[in-house]
Structure 1
């Protein structure tokens, strides 16, 4: 389903999708109100939703859309302006699965078309094939690695996420008590223009200071450090302090920012005294870093399939036998507190 008040955008998006033999546009709606009426009559796997429309608007309609089509995934098609970032991130925290920039004149090309189709396929498969990862429902035949639990008090909590991860992350962080004092490092696949707004969002969800990480920052307790859009968040040990080091270069996953460099740096800087949580997302970003962190004694936790928008990144660490627990977001918070020990949240 394509929901946009612009006839041109609806037509172009529908044409791109219609050229794929495995995808079908079952409905095009010019308003949220019309989309809700359509959803009462048809089933859809993926909804492309514009947020700024006359009438109800996509943001106000989103809760109703998610209720009307609980099995569908919502892909927000939005501008990359500051206002667009704020509205888009609000939608992602409310349950939309992913975002893609609304193209301007001259921006419809092979690269944009491929990214659009890739996102639709991933989100659609998450419904038709057991969250894009299994023919069966539920987390398929993967046993948590119970012995991979922290032997020493962790110094850092690190979170990696992509598609569908913001909603999960906010839910998980909201369950951590205010007294939880471990610093939190976050790598979320987002454009750089979104990061300052994302920091404000996490600050509210986590009830603690959240900043976009910069080179040389000393890692402090009860603070969230977010990877900038144009660099990988890593840390290094300087004396008794952990210090932010932003690096560039291509990561194995091809993502910018990437979860792997963050976790690899924690393996070295903390000698494995860290907890890593891998949340919903496409691909395998985080699997390489999680393996290195786990090998040095770190604890790896993964979001379960049923609660993930796309069970790619969590599945990658789970299938390698790296995850100590595979749980929905609220239960991941409990696992974090249990692993960190009472000293970390009194």
Structure 2
């Protein structure tokens, strides 16, 4: 039998500790090895119990979750820590601060839930998959015993192969980025490495709930040379701007008259997600064809794989984050294993790869030219609506 995942649950509420313990105990792959009512006691128990994962509340007496994650990261950079957050502006702000301090992921506490069972179901659906994704070597079931066979040489793991384009590579007219677990900090690092003169629009889907995405976009805007906003329905898509899909809404780019604009809708979740990366990328392929660069960063699941297949089939370019630098190599791993990535790169190399693949569209403007300038340098003048030089294919209809 495979080893169970050892979890330490930290929350000042006796009721929440009991609820989380009962939920986790219902899964045979997980063992709750201890609980703690605050961060100070949690630090002692981490040293004593050596858990594989810690669930950590944010608001606690003595030592809160923000202090605790900073102390944990002083001695252990790799221990998976999942924050428990309220779905409020205050909770979202604290959660984003925790993620920037080294937390691995977060789940939102049930709000306005009618029964204990519904609360347990909510925590179970969010928490257990994230625990297993963060420690996949323990989450995998033990192999079934097999009949003795003649010994054979050990086979190496299936290598990740990159795609060799069959024709001339087209210069991208747009950049799309998808991410999930570990994505907030990964995306921040990528955008910080892109120049203010970026001559293409950037569309981003990061799996996040409402409220969180707005505050996250504001944080990115302060840290990036580019203009970053939470996308709004009907907003023109312009070069040098980054559009973050709002929580609980799919984001597409569609043509309306001479302009390309953002379209938001609440169609069915895809890959259990809304917003979904695949929805965004499909619409971008319809709008830009093969003149598109897709980047898939760290995240659990496989959202983005089908969209990237469409990008590759149209002649576009695909870059995936590598396993070593991903918090969870689910989404980029799905793309890499499919053989549709042009490059599989460590996080620190992705911004440079984007700049290189965008070519002239990412280079600083020369004197006397008419650059597609960053909206930061022309804040008083609204940027022109983005209209590709060549007509784009009609976008597919979204589901409302």
TM-score norm. by structure 1 comes to 0.90
The residue aligned with 2:54 is 47
Query: Cα gap change, 1:203/1:174 in structure 2, threshold over 3 Å: closer, same or farther?
Result: same
How many angstroms apart in 2 are the aligned matches of 1:184 and 1:145?
A: 23
Aligned residues: 338
Deviation per residue, 1:209-232 (Å, 9 max, x gap): 221212221111221101122321
Aligned to 1:163: 181
Other structure's SS at 2:211 match = helix
The alpha-carbon deviation at position 194 of structure 1 amounts to: 1.4
Residue correspondence of structure 1 range 237-316 to structure 2 within 5 A: 237-238=255-256, 241-316=259-334
C-alpha change, 1:194 and 1:148, in structure 2 (3 Å) is farther
Alignment-derived partner of residue 24 in structure 2: 17
- The aligned counterpart of 1:58 is 65
| SS in structure 2 at match of 1:335 | helix
Query: Is the partner of 1:243 in helix, strand or coil?
Result: strand
* Corresponding residue SS for 2:44: helix
| Equivalent in the alignment of 2:237 | 219
| Matches of 2:203 and 2:170, distance apart in 1 | 19
- Please tell me whether residue 205 in structure 1 is matched to residue 212 in structure 2: no
CA contact (8 A) 1:186 1:226 kept: yes
* TM superposition outliers: structure 1 runs of 4+ over 6 Å: none
The equivalent of 2:33 in structure 1 is 26
Deviations 1:3-43 (A, max 9, x none): 11222212221122122221011221222122222223342
Measured at CA, do residues 39 and 149 of structure 1 come closer, stay the same or move farther in structure 2, by a change above 3 Å? Answer: farther
1:76-135 CA distance string (max 9 Å, x none): 11111110011112222333222211235734233432332222222222x5479xxxxx
Q: Does the residue aligned with 1:172 lie in a helix, a strand or coil?
A: helix
- The answer on whether the counterparts of 1:291 and 1:322 sit within 8 Å (CA) in structure 2 is yes
Of structures 1 and 2, the larger Rg is shown by 2
2:254 is aligned with 1:236 = yes
Partner of 1:94: 101
Deviations 1:127-166 (A, max 9, x none): 5479xxxxxxxx9610222438982321111111111111
* Match in the other structure for 1:113: 124
Q: What is aligned with 1:329?
A: 347
Greater shift, 108-117 or 287-296, is seen at 108-117
Q: Is 1:189 matched with 2:207?
A: yes
CA distance in 1: counterparts of 2:167 and 2:195, whole angstroms: 21
Distance (Å, rounded) in 2 between the aligned partners of 1:177 and 1:3: 41
Q: Is 1:319 matched with 2:331?
A: no
Q: Measured at CA, do residues 142 and 278 of structure 1 come closer, stay the same or move farther in structure 2, by a change above 3 Å?
A: same
Q: Which range is displaced more, 164-173 or 139-148?
A: 139-148
TM-align CA RMSD = 2.3
Distance 1:322 1:233, change over 3 A: same
Change (3 A) 1:86 1:334: same
In structure 1, the residue corresponding to 2:175 is in which secondary structure? strand
SS of the residue corresponding to residue 283 of structure 1 reads coil
In the superposition, the TM-score normalised over structure 2's length comes to 0.78
Q: Distance in 2 between matches of 1:68 and 1:289?
A: 39
Separation in structure 2 between the aligned mates of residue 25 and residue 313 of structure 1, nearest angstrom: 28
- Asked if 1:69 corresponds to 2:80, the answer is no
Greater displacement, 242-251 / 220-229 = 242-251
